[in-house]
Amino acid sequence: MSIYRNAVWFVKGLQEYTKSGYEAAAKHFSPADLDVNLSDRCFMVTGANSGIGKATAQEIAKRGGTVHMVCRNKERAETAKGEIVAQSKNENVHVHIVDMSSARQVWEFAQSFSQNNKLHVLINNAGCMVNQRELTEEGLEKNFATNTLGTYILTTALIPALKKVEDPRVITVSSGGMLTQKLNVDDLQFEKGTFDGTMAYAQNKRQQVILTERWASQHKEIHFSSMHPGWADTPAVQSSMPSFHAKMQSKLRTEAMGADTVVWLAASPAAVKLPSGQFFQDRKPVATHLPLASSRSSPQEEEKLLTALEEFAQKFKP
């Protein structure tokens, strides 16, 4: 079945996820949707020093929003901040150094941030695709620790702060690659069989979509969404998927195209008129499963995922 899923997904991707797919979709966008002044709103963007995260931070800063960049590398973060400030003429851009693969660091950061800052919009963009199985210092598989557990801890720790403001939102940058995966709660850290980094990443991205749906049903005051940026030409794609990048380079979206729906979900009044918990592509909610793909999980499996994540989160809570 996974061969069927992969084939259907790739054909869909060639039509929809490429630069030409974005250009076709953009003909129907309303420019007024992003004609907004964000000067009274605070945004947190993880993984904001390059790629889609940086492009998102830049668009928000341009519209006057206060931006909190959460990055792992201080030097690269400060360079990106300088470029964002210069282009947006907005000085309200702040850098926070956090390794999203460290559960304890994420906890400590979220707790201290909540005490000292207001937050209207959380954008979970940081992610990694490590192609060899690698453990963090806390003994967790690195893709899972960064993409799933880091996202889970940061979001759940910031939910009380988000509930204190008007029009709070959480956007998680997932991937269309998750359509190739059915949730597998019995091997969250990829200990069984041959390790495949691309599959691990797609499995994490499926988990993010399920978390978004669950959070939306639990926290009605907050608007949650997940999204697929399309196939974009980012440093992460170049380094993690070099052969895909080489073959597809001429068809890939720009970083700004990849960021467009993130910015729209974060800033547009139109986005919150749609139901919470949906998965978006090019400013529209789309299906979270391919036709006939047998990729749906049961409520019991999803509950098992949440229970496991909560156990990990509590284990590393300071």
Question: For 51-66, what is each residue's pLDDT tens digit?
Answer: 999 999 999 999 999 9
Instruction: Give residue 148's pLDDT.
Output: 98
Task: pLDDT band for 88, please (50, 70, 90 cuts).
Answer: very high
pLDDT at 1 over 70: no
pLDDT tens, residue by residue, 105-133: 999 999 999 999 999 999 999 999 999 99
In a domain, 32, yes or no: no
User: 249 has which bridge partners?
Assistant: none
Average pLDDT, the chain: 95
pLDDT of residue 101: 98
Residue-level pLDDT at 233: 76
Residue 97: which domain range?
A: 1-25+37-313
Domain assignment present for 200: yes
| 3-state DSSP of the chain | CHHHHHHHHHHHHHHHCCHHHHHHHHCCCCHHHHCCCCCCCEEEEECCCCHHHHHHHHHHHHCCCEEEEEECCHHHHHHHHHHHHHHHCCCCEEEEECCCCCHHHHHHHHHHHHHHCCCCEEEECCCCCCCCCCECCCCCEHHHHHHHHHHHHHHHHHHHHHCCCCCCEEEEECCHHHHHCCCCCCCCCCCCCCCCHHHHHHHHHHHHHHHHHHHHHHCCCCEEEEEECCCECCHHHHHHCHHHHHHHHHHCECHHHHHHHHHHHHHCCCHHHCCCCEEEECCEECCCCCCCCCCCCCHHHHHHHHHHHHHHHHHHCC
On whether the CB atoms of residues 187 and 207 are closer than 8 A, the answer is no
Asked whether residue 210 is assigned to any structural domain, the reply reads: yes
Give the catalytic positions in this structure: 201
Domain annotation covers residue 318: no
CATH number at residue 78: 3.40.50.720
Section 205-222 average pLDDT: 98
Query: For residue 252, what are its two tokens?
Result: 């890939």
Q: pLDDT at position 94, please?
A: 98
285 in Cβ contact with 213 (< 8 Å) = no
Q: What is the pLDDT of residue 58?
A: 98
Tell me whether residue 214 is in a domain. yes
CB 73 within 8 A of CB 49: yes
Task: Output 29-33 pairs: Cβ under 8 A, ≥24 positions apart.
Answer: 29/260, 29/283, 30/270, 33/264, 33/268, 33/269, 33/270, 33/271, 33/283
* Structural domains of the chain, count: 1
Q: How confident is the model at residue 313 (pLDDT cuts 50, 70, 90)?
A: very high
Residue 155 has pLDDT above 80, yes or no: yes
Cα angle 61, 54, 82; round to 5: 65
pLDDT digits (tens, 9 = 90+) for 214-252: 999 999 999 999 999 998 878 777 777 777 777 778 889
**Does 13 map to a domain?**
yes
Tell me the two tokens of residue 130. Answer: 């490590």
pLDDT band for position 2 (50/70/90)? Answer: confident
Quick: pLDDT tens for 159-198: 999 999 999 999 999 999 999 999 999 999 999 999 999 9
Q: 299 falls in which pLDDT band (50, 70, 90)?
A: very high
pLDDT of residue 3: 83
Question: Does 274 fall in a domain?
Answer: yes
pLDDT at 210: 98
30 in a structural domain: no
- Please report the pLDDT score of residue 206 as a whole number: 98
pLDDT value at residue 107 = 98
State the pTM of this model: 0.96
